Amino acid sequence: MKYGYARVSTTDQKLANQIEVLKLAGAEKIFQEKFTGTTTERPEFQKLLRVLKTGDTLIVTKLDRFARNTREALAIIQELFKENVKVNILNMGLIDNTPTGQLVFTIFSAFAQFERDMIVTRTQEGKLYAKQHDPLFREGRPKRILMNKSDLLMSCENKA
């Protein structure tokens, strides 16, 4: 059986694209959830891991959908390999239980974690710089001003 796993980090993001790609790759059943990858609280992923058995294939679109960091990725892949489950990470290819397959997976996992860590570092540096140099800097999304239709119409009429 081929199982897919789709995950997005926020409730605002859409799963549709990942699901479509997983179906095209042959996934027969797809587990999906909206959870940040920085947490181990991924109930659907845990369910999926319990369902997988010898001869099955786990398909994910990208490595960062699979695990939070290199250590977790390696631990998961080792458990799957013990059960003779194949892992197909679509932007990397099929990971097999050979020394070469494990080496390639380890290297890609390390680079994925490095990339994530660099993004976090650059974001923190940017925020620090902005706090020090911009007195109007505020963290987070700007507050939205919501208008009802009648206020919006009056505003438009006043401008005309």
Phi-psi group of 84: left, alpha or beta (phi > 0 → left; psi -120 to 50 → alpha; rest → beta): left
Residue 30 sits at the vertex; the CA angle it makes with 68 and 89, to the nearest 5 degrees, is 50
What's the pLDDT at 160? 57
Max distance between CA atoms of the chain, in angstroms, equals 72
Residue (of 38, 55, 35, 64) closest to 47 by Cα position: 35
* Average pLDDT of span 116-128: 87
What's the pLDDT at 54? 94
Confidence of residue 150 (pLDDT cuts 50, 70, 90): low
What's the pLDDT at 147? 64
Residue (of 40, 45, 63, 42) closest to 112 by Cα position: 63
In this structure, is residue 160 part of a structural domain? no
In this structure, is residue 119 part of a structural domain? no
Number of compact structural domains in the chain: 1
Confidence of residue 4 (pLDDT cuts 50, 70, 90): very high
In this structure, is residue 131 part of a structural domain? no
Residue (of 91, 74, 90) closest to 82 by Cα position: 74
In this structure, is residue 58 part of a structural domain? yes
Rank 24-28, 91-95, 119-123, 140-144 by mean pLDDT and report only the highest.
24-28
More confident call, 57 vs 65: 57
In this structure, is residue 153 part of a structural domain? no
Q: Which residues lie below 8 Å from residue 79, measured CB to CB, with a gap of 6+?
A: 49
The CATH number of residue 98's host domain is 3.40.50.1390
Query: Percent of the chain having pLDDT more than 90?
Result: 29
CB 15 within 8 A of CB 34: yes
In this structure, is residue 123 part of a structural domain? no
Task: Report how far residue 9's alpha carbon sits from residue 160's, in angstroms, rounded to the nearest whole number.
Answer: 43
pTM: 0.67
What's the pLDDT at 40? 61
* Average pLDDT of span 121-131: 90
Residues of the domain holding 27: 2-113
In this structure, is residue 126 part of a structural domain? no
Active-site residue set: 9
In this structure, is residue 121 part of a structural domain? no
Residue with tokens 């081929």, as numbered in its chain: 2
More confident call, 30 vs 143: 30
* Average pLDDT of span 21-34: 94
